[in-house]
Amino acid sequence: MPSDWIRQEIKNPVGVNKSLDPTDVPDNVWNDVINVSFKGGKVSKTQGYAQTFGTPSGDPYYLLTVIRSGVLFWVYPTLDAIYRTEGSSHVDISRTTGGAYTGTPVDNWNGGVLNSVPVLNNGVNVPQVWEYSSSTFENAPGWPVGLQAKIIRPYKNYLIAMNLTVGSVLEPVSIQWSNASDPGFAPTSWALNDTTSESGKAFLADTPGAIVDGRPLRDMFIIYKEDSVYSMRYVGGVFVWQFRQLFNDVGMLSQECVAEFEGKHFVVTAGDVYVHNGVNKQSVIDNRMREYLFSSIDKAYSTRTRVVADHGRTEMWIYFVGTNSTSGLCDTALIWNWTEDTWTIRDIPEVAHISYGIVDPQTSDNWQDDPLSWNSDTTVWNDRNYNPSKLSILMASPSDTKMYLVGDVSTFDGTTFTSRIEKNSMYFGDDHNFKSISSVTPHFTGDGVVTAYVGYQKLKSDPITWKGPFTFNIGVDYKIDCKVVGRYISFKCEIDSDGSWSLNGYTLEGNATIGSR
């Protein structure tokens, strides 16, 4: 073999970096990807998704899960009603007095579960609670007349209402909390001057930004403003809560732009993504994917950006309305794996909300729906109807009137999708001489058909000229023969989702120095 022959092996290429110049990105990091996942030094296709729970009774805008008498329900509000499903039937559980809800797509549903009581709020109507003693949602008891809250979250035995409107007066830096509630019941008082109740109110006015959202973190409730972050700790007594400013140089972009993992919060701001533990914070996107994220979000719908944690796969999904969206609904997810410390990008259907929880569609547990006779039926009546190990991502699409379950399926709701990985402008430590690449050996396992391209540039500033397509059959072919000459070499693969594959590296072979022309 000639002395100038090269064999350049790229081992375990994982993650993507779209912030740095392509020549500055390490060889084992991709420059562009779509619909792939990274785990254990390998890249593989992303999970697909499929419709679940049948057809909803309305367009779902939010998802909340709760267990009642051993039955797991997913609750989903539309703009004017609230429904629940256990997987087979869909039941209207809207309030019976007060009329239909009057929120719009701009009035984001939010809430949570307090002592087994689901709480929903759209910022327009009286907050809704589904107590154990009721078969439907009802107006929150004791809610003050004329009060509106953009956000309501549960914490300990209390409900925390934030970014208030009192009558017609906006109070974007105010919060109000209820008295403590008993299990199975909602709080009964929001009074401000009742010495028998712990309910009260506070203003966080050290910085001018409005309150955006709040979430528990260990023994604290963290309140996020547009420009700062506060902690709220229960101390009891006259003051009830202690407030302290944690950070005055970061805040939060929009509602639900935070998720908890391993005793920390992952937060999206108007220009950064950071992780903090209540004391220290650190950007996890700087010099990696910051420019991509904030240039890809449609500025008209930036407040629809959300975050959800997939704890089973140790992933944080930032899902947002992309600049190519025509619906104003989220259609793209930028995903950070916190154990691998890698980023990736994937397509999602047009969704308003994504949640994580037990998704285990079952047949109806109603007595009249059981097809077996009394003597032949071995199932336990009124037993729980779900498998608690089936934790998954569930997506709500109001434009499709569907709920989608993310999992190990090979399509996007029946449609084949394409995964792409791309590495650009490699020069192997020599940006002076030309390289002549004669073959690429991709280290695929599994099955499927790859459409590959090998590219070159004479100058760093030149656009990439691609040679191909080259067809590579996983499990059949060994290498891709090509003839590409340039100072900078690129490689990309496109793989349809029909197969099941993974890649842990690739090798380029050719002549290392054939002049500098």
Phi, psi of 306 (to 5 degrees): -140, 165
- Specify which residues 73 forms β-bridges with: 66
Triad 312, 314, 320: Cα angle to 5°: 105
pLDDT at 69: 85
Rg of the chain (C-alpha set): 27
Q: How far apart are CA 505 and CA 41, in angstroms?
A: 9
Q: pLDDT tens digits, the chain, 517 residues: what are they? A: 455 778 999 999 999 999 999 999 999 999 999 999 999 999 999 999 999 999 999 999 999 999 998 899 999 999 999 999 999 999 999 999 999 999 999 999 999 999 999 999 999 999 999 999 999 999 999 999 999 999 999 999 999 999 999 999 999 999 999 999 999 999 999 999 888 899 999 999 999 999 999 999 999 999 999 999 999 999 988 889 999 999 999 999 999 999 999 999 999 999 999 999 999 999 999 999 999 999 999 999 999 999 999 999 999 999 999 999 999 999 999 999 999 999 999 999 999 999 999 998 664 445 555 544 554 443 444 444 445 568 999 999 999 999 999 998 999 999 999 999 999 999 999 999 999 999 999 999 999 999 999 999 999 999 999 999 999 999 999 999 999 999 999 999 999 988 899 999 999 999 876 665 5
Query: Model-level pTM?
Result: 0.93
- Specify which residues 66 forms β-bridges with: 73
Starting at the edge strand that comes first in sequence, how are the strands of the sheet with 488-496 ordered? 32-34, 418-426, 488-496, 449-457, 465-473
pLDDT at 262: 97
Annotated domain spans of the chain: 5-39+416-511
Identity of the residue numbered 335? I
Q: Which helix (H) or strand (E) holds 450?
A: strand 449-457
Q: How far apart are CA 315 and CA 221, in angstroms?
A: 23
Q: Encoding tokens for residue 323?
A: 């600049």
Q: Encoding tokens for residue 467?
A: 């040679």
pLDDT at 373: 53
Q: How far apart are CA 379 and CA 102, in angstroms?
A: 43
pLDDT at 220: 97
Identity of the residue numbered 374? W
If you count them, how many residues does the chain have?
517
pLDDT at 379: 41
Q: How far apart are CA 308 and CA 306, in angstroms?
A: 7
Q: How far apart are CA 64 and CA 100, in angstroms?
A: 19
- Specify which residues 121 forms β-bridges with: 110
pLDDT at 381: 45
Q: Which CATH architecture has domain 5-39+416-511?
A: Sandwich (2.60)
Q: Are 182 and 195 in contact (CB under 8 A)?
A: no
Identity of the residue numbered 30? W
